[in-house]
Amino acid sequence: MKKLLLVGALALFGAVNAQTQKGTWMLSGKTELSFNSAKTKLEVQGNNFGEAKTTTVSLSPAASYFVIDNLAVGLGLSYTSQKIEDQKSNTFAILPQATYFFPVNGEVKPFIEAGIGYAANKTTIMDEDANFNGLAYGFGAGVAYFINPNVAFNLGVNYSAANLKYKENSDLKNNTNNIGVGLGISVFLK
């Protein structure tokens, strides 16, 4: 009986490690919980207006492919919606990204991730719409807990930023910086 348990444990360990090997797909999604603190600053011709702090919830699905063991590259999407008093803001971003899982034994694997890409934002202030677009980037670190060989829960801390300009007047800028705690799930397919 002990030998059977040992063989089963070794097989499960090998299956978990195989999930971050070259040739595996990772589909993931995460949401940033209310632990986020965001600072948004609106700049017009060098003058700052409407600086405010808010709490944000965002959704971020991604698909990545392991190009070498423990390193996945892919494409992430992000949607964030904020409301501060009479101001509403919706941001959509598309970010090529990379995720590296540290090669450790067991069901818990630390990881780091980074991405850079394009973001578009629509901000409504007093029933007036303004559309912004530009550079978005972010990075983070966390741990993935594999509940079985194909599914892991992720918990991490991340930083994201967007430096956006108004489409009709490049002197009008919308710069956003976020620090948050993300909770998500990843599915690994061979």
Q: Does the structure show a pLDDT above 60 at 1? A: no
> What domains are there in the chain, each with its CATH number?
2-189 (2.40.160.20)
- The β-bridge partners of 37 are 179
**Tokens at residue 164, please?**
């956006």
Per-residue pLDDT of 110-169, as tens digits, reads 999 999 999 999 988 888 888 999 999 999 999 999 999 899 999 999 898 999 998 888
Residues 6+ apart with CB under 8 A from 178: 32, 36, 37, 38, 56, 58, 158, 159, 160, 161
Per-residue pLDDT of 105-117, as tens digits, reads 889 999 999 999 9
